[in-house]
Structure 1
Amino acid sequence: MSAAACISFHAPTTSVVVAAASAMATAAEAAAADKIITSMKEEEEDTHTAAGRGLVRRPRAVARRLACDRRALGDGFALRRAIGRPELDSLDPFLSLDEFEFSPPAGFSDHPHRGFENVTYMLEGGFSYHDFSGHKGTISTGDVQWMTAGRGVVHAEMPGGRGVQRGINLWINLSSKDKMVEPRYQELTSQDIPAAESDGVSVKVIAGEALGARSPLQTRTPALCLDVAMRPGARLRQPVPPGWSACAYVIDGEAVFGADASAVGAHTCVVFGGGDDDGGCDGVAARTTDRASARFLLVAARPHGESVVKDGPFVMNTREEVEQAREDYRNRRNGFEMAAGWTSDHAAATAAVH
Structure 2
Amino acid sequence: MKKENMKHREIKKIWTVNEQKISPIHTAGPVLPPGAWKNYDPFLLLMEDKFEKGAFDVHPHRGMETLTFVIDGTINHYDSATGDGGTLVKGDLQFMTAGKGVVHNESPADGEKVHLLQLWVNLPRKYKMVNPRYQNMHAKDMPVREEDGAFIRVYSGSSGDVVSNTLNYTPVTFVEMVLESGSSIVQDLPGSYNGFIYVLEGSGTFGENKVEAEKGQAMWLGSTDEESRSEIQVSANEKLRLVLFAGEPLREPVVARGPFVMNTEEEIRQAYRDYQEGKFLDPTN
- Judge same fold: TM > 0.5, yes or no: yes
Matched, 1:328 2:277: no
Give the distance between the partners of 2:108 and 2:260, measured in 1 at CA: 23
2:230 maps to which residue?
A: 282
- 1:107–1:159: 8 Å Cα contact kept in structure 2? no
1:299 maps to which residue?
A: 245
Task: Using the TM superposition, give the Cα deviation of residue 261 of structure 1 relative to its aligned residue in structure 2, in angstroms.
Answer: 4.0
User: Aligned to 1:277, what secondary structure does the other structure show?
Assistant: coil
Matched, 1:265 2:214: yes
- 1:82–1:269: 8 Å Cα contact kept in structure 2? yes
> Letter of the aligned partner of 1:326 in structure 2?
Y
Matched, 1:131 2:131: no
Task: Using the TM superposition, give the Cα deviation of residue 286 of structure 1 relative to its aligned residue in structure 2, in angstroms.
Answer: 1.3
User: Residue by residue, what CA displacement relative to the aligned partner does 1:57-108 show, whole Å, maximum 9, x if unpaired?
Assistant: 321111101110111111211122111257788510111112211123x332
> Letter of the aligned partner of 1:117 in structure 2?
E
Give the distance between the partners of 1:86 and 1:330, measured in 2 at CA: 25
Instruction: Return structure 1 stretches of 4+ with deviation > 6 angstroms.
Output: 86-89
User: 5 Å matches for 1:20-169?
Assistant: 57-85=6-34, 91-104=40-53, 106-132=54-80, 133-160=82-109, 162-169=111-118
Gaps of 5+ in 2: none
Which one has a larger percent helix, Structure 1 or Structure 2? 1
| Distance change >3 Å, CA 208–CA 161, structure 1 → 2 | farther
Give the distance between the partners of 1:276 and 1:73, measured in 2 at CA: 41
1:201 maps to which residue?
A: 150
Give the distance between the partners of 2:110 and 2:153, measured in 1 at CA: 24
| Distance change >3 Å, CA 55–CA 204, structure 1 → 2 | farther
1:214 maps to which residue?
A: 163
> Letter of the aligned partner of 1:138 in structure 2?
T
2:256 maps to which residue?
A: 310
Identity %: 31
> Letter of the aligned partner of 2:274 in structure 1?
D
Gaps of 5+ in 1: 1-51, 340-354
| Distance change >3 Å, CA 275–CA 153, structure 1 → 2 | farther
- 2:64–2:128: 8 Å Cα contact kept in structure 1? yes
Task: Using the TM superposition, give the Cα deviation of residue 167 of structure 1 relative to its aligned residue in structure 2, in angstroms.
Answer: 1.3
Give the distance between the partners of 2:92 and 2:110, measured in 1 at CA: 15
- 1:56–1:239: 8 Å Cα contact kept in structure 2? no
Q: RMSD of aligned C-alpha atoms? A: 2.2
> Letter of the aligned partner of 2:118 in structure 1?
N
Rg larger for: 1
User: Aligned to 1:263, what secondary structure does the other structure show?
Assistant: strand
Give the distance between the partners of 2:24 and 2:38, measured in 1 at CA: 25
